[in-house]
Every structure is written in C-alpha cells, then in structure tokens.
Chain A
Amino acid sequence: MDASDRGRLLNRLADLVERDQLLLATLEALDCGKVFLTAYFVDLMAAIRTLRYYGGWADKIQGKTIPVDGAYFTYTRHEPIGVCGQIIPWNFPVMMFVWKIAPALCCGNTVVIKPAEQTPLSALHMAALIKEAGFPAGVVNVLPGYGETAGCAISHHMDIDKVAFTGSTAVGKLIQKAAGESNLKRVTLELGGKNPNIVFADCDLEHAVEQAHSGLFFNQGQCCLAGSRVFVEEPIYEEFVRRSVEKAKSKVLGNPLSPGVDQGPQIDQKQFDKILELIESGKDEGATLECGGSVWGQQGLFIQPTVFSNVTDNMRIAKEEIFGPVQQIMCFRSISEVIRRANDTQYGLAAGVFTNDINKALTVSSALQAGMVWVNCYNAMSAQCPFGGFKMSGNGRELGEYALQEYTEVKAVTIKISQKNS
C-alpha cells in the first residue's frame, strides 16, 4: 500500500470518529466516569486531531542517502518494526487508543492492542470504525482482557516485535522483564509521575492557583501528569493555600453525564480504596487537612476534592502516586532548594513553573528532570509535541515526530558501484 494511502485511511478514521463523536464521548463517560463535556471536547477532540496528525506523517517518513567512504551507494530505509503489542490504561481510554495505533499504523506496522478491563467499550467501537474505514484485515486487532493474562501473554510473546505500555510503574517493570525473558522485543513505556508544580512569588497568582488546581484535579486526579506536588514560594504560600482550598470546595460532584458536574467518580473500588488509604496516611503523618478527606455521596466511588498543606517531602502523600483528587501544597524558599526537592523522586514525567521572570523560567525548566516542562501553564498538550518520561516515568516518547522513531526499524543498504562521484 502506498504510504500516502495509509495516511488516507488514518484521515478517514478521523472522519468516522468525528461522525461518532457524541456516541464515543457518551460511552467514555459511562465506562470511565469522566465528565461528559470533557470527554467530548477534550478526549475526543484530541483523538481526532492525533489521527489527522499521524495521517499527515505517513508519506513523510524519510530515510536518507549517506556519503560513506568508498565506492558505495548507501541509503537507509525506515521500515515498520512489524507486529506491535500495545497495552493501554483506563484513564483516557479512546485517547490512549489513538495515541498508540496512530503512529504505529502511520509507519506501516500491524497492531495487537489490549484495552484496560475497566474500560473496553470505546476501543471496541474504534475497532468497528477501523474496519469501516477500510484498514485491511489483521492490521488492527483489539483484545479486551486482563493484564495478568492477556497483557502478560503479549509482553512474553515470541512473535511480537515491540510492546508499548502505558500504566503503572510497577507493571512497567514487569513488561521490561518479560521482553528480556522472551525475544528482546523493543519496549516503550509511559508510566507514573509525582509531578512538581513550582509557583514563584512573582507569578500571576490567580492564574497559578487556577492552573495548579486543574493540573491536579483534572480527570478526577487520574492523570500520570497530575501536578501532585505543588511547591509554593514562602511569601505567597498562605494566600495560595487559601485560594486553592476555595477552588477545591467549589467543585461540583455528581453523575458525569449531567450538565454542571465537574468531577465524576474514581474508576473502581481498588483505586477508591487506595486513595482513601493514602489520605489517611496524610492525616496520620501530620499534614494539615484543609478540606475534603473522605467519601462523597451515598453511592458510587466519589471522593471529596481534598487539599493538604504543610506537607513535607518524606510523607507518603509527597512520594507516592495517589491518582486521585488529593492536592499536596508544600512551601519553599530558594530556587536551588526547590529544584533539588522537585528532582528528588524516582519519577520524571512532567513539571510546571509559574514565574514572570525570564531567567527563572529558563533556569528552572532546564534544571528539572522531566520529559515535559510547562511554563505559566499546565497540561498544555498537542499532537505535535512529544510526551514521555525521564527516569522511572518511562522510556521513549509518544506524539510529535519523535514517536515515529519508536515504530520504525532502520535498515542501511549499501550497494557496490564501480565509481563513486559526489
């Protein structure tokens, strides 16, 4: 198939997702618990744009001709890797589905993808659209199932050439081991984070409060990118906490399909229990509970928006990924201190910096060990911009041109010629 036709198919799929946007957003809200308007305007829009973005790359994946020494004509082919296993999480089901299949298909690979057992429905509708769009049989295969069985089978399989996983760091380690135990399949991982969001006294305070709030509470706190350690410079600390608590208290919880609701339930009982347990640890270890701290409502898995202040770096809520609506606000005094503390973690996914000073912005963003650094914003993402982690937040990059490398095998071809001329 011409590369440009792979691109046409991806664009056709984008058209079909756009046609079914309402249905997919509703399925997503139902299966995942996320607020419907968010599913419609954020998750689905991102999915459509990412499909179109990679649709555009398909016939632009270019090898090179290379001036080697000697009488040779040498060039590289950028070939697809082959069969790619893809294991995706439950927090952004359809968006994660597209982030995985789009670059893979763009580069000409075939895919075996396992959606999360908590949220299989939108992936299965996508499979129907993939068939409708005209992708040949076998190019995309979608298997709902569990990690310990289906996911494990994929990562151990001797005839899968590459595995891409998004999920917890604990399982990421298992995937890496499985690759080593089986056929040394290529591995890319997008794992957890405990992302620092650093607010300097010279920032636009209201804007920083608002961005730090949405940076943590978005998607019920269930984001690998959540800014879950908010470092605030001492002079504005009290005011920042006060305003953040006010914001947290104003959140409206309820049925995610109802208009006016801005926080839905947590995904399942296991997550629910874990979050509550970590909240208890925060109380036990001496953090100040400013608001929230327990269950909300009579039914379902809702947790009150919770804010802890006076958090110290050694507390569990400061070190472990909570993945829930629990915001930690800590105090700092100097740039060098906050950089050191921000980097003092096994994770390294994202970070935020709020300041109006150009030197602070450039110094801090260069110093942070994070795959994405936002300055005066948070969660600003787009299909063109690479996404991925330092350290135990993962390896490899998704999105942007960089993702193509992860789905390409480079072959160098060298042909003897009788006379080389430049």
Chain B
Amino acid sequence: MLRFMIPRILPQLCRLPLCRYSAAAIPAPSTKPEVHYNKLFINNEWQDAASGKTFSTINPATGEVICQVAEADEVDVDKAVKAARNAFRLGSPWRRMDASDRGLLLNKLADAIEQNSAYLAELETLDNGKPYVVSYAVDLPHVVKCFRYYAGWADKWEGKTIPIDGDYFCYTRHEPIGVCGQIIPWNFPLLMQAWKLGPALATGNTVVMKVAEQTPLTALYVASLIKEVGFPEGVVNILPGLGPSAGAAIARHMDVDKVAFTGSTEVGHLIQQASGSSNLKKVTLELGGKSPNIILSDANMEDAVEQSHFALFFNQGQCCCAGSRTYVQADIYDEFLERSVERAKRRIVGNPFDLKTEQGPQVDQEQFNKILGYISSGKNEGAKLMCGGGAAADRGYFIQPTVFGDVQDNMTIAREEIFGPVMQILKFKTLEEVVTRANDSKYGLAAAVFTKDIDKAHYVSNGLRAGTVWINCYDVFGAQAPFGGYKASGNGRELGEYGLDNYTEVKTVTIKVPQKNS
C-alpha cells in the first residue's frame, strides 16, 4: 500500500545540493514517453542483434514491460570493435580531426542533450524509476555539464618537452589509447554514459559501450544525437546486452585496448581477471562502497540530520557512494537517531512521475529481493529496526525508508553494500576510534565528516582512506572534481583533469640533434 505522507514540502527537494530549480520551474512530464530507439548502434547505424535475440526492459514502478530491446552478444561486440578500430586507424577522419573540433562536437552533443532534457528525463524515470524532478533537475544538468567540461579539455591536454641529458630533443605526445570498452550501470544511466564518453572522446579514443540491461533506453537516444551532431561513424558504438555475454565479450576481447567498468565489486574482480587472461588491456574500475558518514558532537544537528538522510536515501539508496554507515558521536546519538527516524518516516514514496515524490521504486526484482534480505539479516543479527522494514506497495519494487539503530560493526548490514533505502546508525566515542572503524572495510569510495572544528575536520579527512571526503556536506559532485575509490572500491579516477589520464597513452619521442642548447 502506497503511503501518502504529509504533502511534500517544496523546499525539501530544493535542498538537494545540486538542484537549482524550484519545482515550479519543472515542466509537467509525459508519463508515457515514446521509445524511438531500441536496437544496437554500430557505425552510426541501427541494427538488430546478429542472433535476432531481444530482451525486455521493465518499468520498475509497475513491473510492466516497456518494450523489447535488441540483445548484443559476442558476435555483435566483435562487429562493434571492428567499427571502432576502423574509426581509429591512422589517417581516419577522427584521428586527423583538430582537437578543438572534437571539443566542438562534444559541445554540440551537450547542446542537443540540453534541448531534449525534458524527454530524456521522462525516459530515464520510466526505465530507472527515479523521481522525475530528480532526473530533470539533477541528472540531466549534470550530464550536460560533464560533456561541456570535457569539450573544453579536448585541445588543452598537452604533452611536454623535456630537458634530458645528451644531445637530444625530447618530447611527449598525449595520444588516445585506442578502442575503449565501457560498461556502465543502471543507477544513473545518462550520467554514467556522460562520465565515460566525455573523457574518452575528448582525448580522441573510439568507444564500444555496453549499457545496463535494466536501463538501455536513454543511452540509445543519446546515440541518435551523437550521430546527428556529426561524430564520424564508428567513433561511438552502443550495445544493449547482458553482462555475462556482451560485457564479458568486451572484457576479454583481444582487440579492445582498454576497459572501463562501473558496477559491483564482484564483477570488477571478473573484469580484471579477464584483462589478465586476454591482452592485458588497461583496466579502470568504479565499484561498490560502504561509505562512513561521521557526525561529531559539535556538528550543526539539523543540517547533519538532513544531509545524512540525503546521503543514504538519495536515488533510492542506489549510490555507490551512499553514506551507509552513519557514525554518530555518543553525546548526540539519541537525538540524532530520533530526528533521523522522524525524517525517514516523512519521506514520500510514490509514483516517480508525481512531482511530490522523493523516492521511487528500486530498479528491479533482483535488487528488491536482495534489499529485503539484508533487512531480514539486520533484524536477525540484533540491530534495532526503528522504522520501515518492508515493501511499500503491492505493485512495482517500492521499499519503505528503513532505519536501523544500535548497529554494530560486525553485522552484515554494517559490512555489505545494501544499495537500498536502509540506513545504519552506529555510535562512537573518540576521533581515533571512529577513524579506525571507518577504515575497517574492504571498500574506500567516499566518506564525510560533520563538524565545526577546523582541526578535527582536517584530522579526520586526512585519516580516512577514501577517494572522496566531504566536510559538512554530502554527494557534492562537479565535473571538475575527480571521483574514485581506494582499495576494493576501484582504481583510477573519473572526472576532473585526472579523468584524462585513464584515456591517454604517453609516447616519448627523442630526436638526435647536432648540439643541444638550453
């Protein structure tokens, strides 16, 4: 049964740190956006899978099939890799293009996506289940900004001339790696596509991208825009398909020079092994997390409660960087817990196309079952269920916002990534203790600390083994700031200037000269 809580207070959504719109500025969505593209996109052409197979993509709010989508497997991957390799050959239009023109194309793509924002947001909400206000006001603007950011880098990624010993003129070229396989997840379909394509195309690579089978539709529409704005054929190839077939085919392909994967740590292990078993393709991984969110007793209570709520529940809890271990200092623990529960109870779960909705369904049956399984383990292992704990509706994959108190570090819900609307609140006493406990995880993606004290802020942020540390905020992202994990949360960084390194081969050229002068 859907719960209709107190009608949503508009300002609530506007406190999403990334949101600059009031709900009044968001156009009323069509709840039945038309699907225009559902095939494989290879060499700027739409094709059925060689096998003719298709799979269903589901609307998680209702459990109903939206449409069939062509299913790529090894044969199709091979075709796509050939197209990408051809687009990358020496002397090709893409290789000979001015770097600034690559930038121009990326800017045109950003413009085209921006013009189609409302439609893409509708399609994203239909396929993924995230609330429309979020697709429109958060996902889409970030997608556009990411493409614009990397458009700007295209002609600024500079090698060096180097003063080596001897009569030589020595310099480096920053060359593209070549054919890049990119495998992206379902939690932020369009945004993950932008994070991958932006740096790869800015630096001159060609791409074979496999999109998640849960959410293929928006990426395929963007493929049509890629063709429309003028990217040469074969530069971007997009394949809907399944991980064990199409994804694996990319990871072990002998003619793919690099693979970038965002998804679970479990599959990350497989990707790395596949690289080792095939051609040692370069590997970058963005994997899971169990990110600690540390609240010190001098934090602004109201702000910390709201931010911590957002840190866990945003995107239906389906964020690799979700603040899923909320460590609260002992003297403020009781009040923090009470306020967090009250906030969770107020969270509006419902039809993602309703502008008042804060939380939509989980993405599919598998995730839904897995999350309910974790909730059970929480109860069984002795955590205190403060609110929620079950399904939120009869139809679709909705789960009640759930809060566990008195969580201990050794509980399953404190160690494993749940990827759902389930918040764990733990108690700590001292700074040294909490830094140790926070670091006691195989993951290391993100972390946060809430405090007014400048010295404590530095001590904790310096001590946390995490790729991103937020201070007095959470989930603040910018195309300019690198993002990635320590330890089993991944390797390599995406976004920022650092993101270009993953898509570059450095070539050193050394020329003999008759006489070197400084």
Contact = CB atoms under 8 A, between A and B. Distances in A.
Interface residues of A, number: 32
A243 to B, nearest CB: 30
Contacts of A358: 511
Interface in B468-492: 478-480
B156 A57 contact: yes
Contact of A401 (B145, B158, B515): B158
Given A60-B480, A73-B458, A384 B155 contact: yes
Contacts of A52: 100, 103-104, 107
Interface string A32-66: 00000000000000000100110111111010000
B513 interface: yes
A314 interface: no
B7 interface: no
B459 to A, nearest CB: 6
Interface stretch (A189-197, A201-209, A269-277, A413-421): A413-421
B156 A56 contact: yes
Interface stretch (B56-64, B146-154, B234-242, B385-393): B146-154
Contacts of B107: 11, 52
A60 B152 contact: yes
Contacts of B151: 56
Interface of A is mostly: helix
A384 B100 contact: yes
B365 interface: no
Interface in B125-168: 145, 148-149, 151-156, 158
B349 to A, nearest CB: 33
Given A359-B514, A362-B169, A417-B458, A4 B100 contact: no
A366 interface: yes
B455 A417 contact: yes
B25 interface: no
Interface in B402-449: none
A4 B459 contact: no
Given A11-B107, A384-B100, A60 B156 contact: yes
Contacts of B517: 366-367
B462 interface: yes
Interface centre among B152, B454, B480, B516 (most CB of A within 10 A): B152
Q: Which of A52, A56, A382 has the most CB of B within 10 A?
A: A56
Contact of A384 (B156, B458, B463, B514): B156
A221 interface: no
A141 interface: no
Contacts of B354: none
A363 interface: yes
B175 interface: no
Interface in B65-91: none
Nearest to B458: A417
B497 interface: yes
A7 interface: yes
Contacts of B478: 4
Contacts of B515: 363
Contacts of A318: none
Interface string A73-102: 100000000000000000000000000000
Interface centre among B103, B148, B158, B169 (most CB of A within 10 A): B148
B156 A401 contact: yes
A59 B169 CA distance: 33
A415 B155 contact: no
19 contacts: A4-B145, A4-B478, A4-B479, A4-B480, A8-B148, A52-B103, A53-B156, A56-B152, A56-B155, A359-B514, A362-B514, A363-B513, A363-B515, A366-B516, A417-B459, A417-B462, A418-B455, A419-B459, A421-B463
Given A60-B497, A401-B156, A417-B462, 16 more contacts: A4-B480, A7-B148, A52-B104, A53-B156, A56-B103, A62-B497, A73-B458, A362-B169, A362-B513, A362-B514, A363-B513, A363-B514, A366-B517, A384-B99, A418-B455, A418-B459
Interface of A: 3-4, 7-8, 11, 49, 52-53, 55-60, 62, 73, 358-359, 362-363, 366-367, 382-384, 401, 415, 417-421
Interface of B: 99-100, 103-104, 107, 145, 148-149, 151-156, 158, 169, 454-455, 458-459, 462-463, 478-480, 497, 511, 513-517
List the 9 shortest-distance A-B pairs measured between CB atoms, nearest first: A56-B152, A417-B458, A362-B513, A384-B155, A59-B480, A359-B514, A418-B455, A421-B462, A366-B517
